[in-house]
Amino acid sequence: MIEIIPAIDIIGGRCVRLAQGDYDRRTTYEAEPAEMVQRFADCGVTRVHIVDLDGAKAARPKNLATLERMARVEGVSIEWGGGLKDETSVRQVFDAGAAYAIVGSVAAKQPDLFSTWLRTFGAERMVLGADVREGKVSVSGWMEDLDLCIEHLIDLFRPHGLRQVICTDISRDGMLQGPSFDLYTHLQAAYPDIDFTVSGGISSMDDIRRLDSLNLRKVIVGKAIYEGRISLKDIASYIISQ
């Protein structure tokens, strides 16, 4: 069964969603982040994906107090990304209660450093965040495209134990147009020893069922939940049925 991982993006301690990473195309939601994590836990969800958008801008974690509150919710593991540029920041998010740390730009631009973190903190806790646009890796809040394909990026870290990759198709993120099925089936087939998380474009439970039928293992769902296209009841029913 594919694992459903709800997403929460945070600015100023509030839940928000951005369209294609654009801070000027922001929707702010009423629910408090820890409250949302509890709602997800009540549905049977066991992992929640958090992006500290303030941290991403500041290049260091900025919502650690919010993380601490979310991490107190029983039965849920928090995967946290945004602003993890040095070892101190990674330690801070683990100390605040995150179970997993997501690293993107540093991994692409300073691969030796991320390789060190894989060894220092353990591959079971470190997640490679690979944002792609037309097959090429994008960094720095999607403002810089590198001449680096995702396969090359993954190959850099396999010798160091890489086991978890979140791949976000930028062209689909926040657009509710369905994920890039071909991209993810290709990656999972090419690297069967790595758990890939589908990210970007999920618009309905039908998308999730199709990903499941393709033997993909994890999927992040964000805007579809907040826009009412996928309800918490839908998620609970799906988890119970498996």
Catalytic residue annotation: 9, 131
Beta-strand pair 164-169/47-52: unpaired
Name the β-bridge partners of 137.
Answer: 132
Q: How far apart are CA 178 and CA 64, in angstroms?
A: 32
d(CA 195, CA 126): 12
For residue 56 the two structure tokens come to 């991403």
E strands along the chain, which residues? 3-11, 14-19, 22-28, 47-52, 77-81, 100-103, 126-133, 136-139, 144-149, 164-169, 195-199, 218-221
Residues 16 and 30: their CA atoms lie apart, in Å, by 9
Q: Which amino acid, 99?
A: A
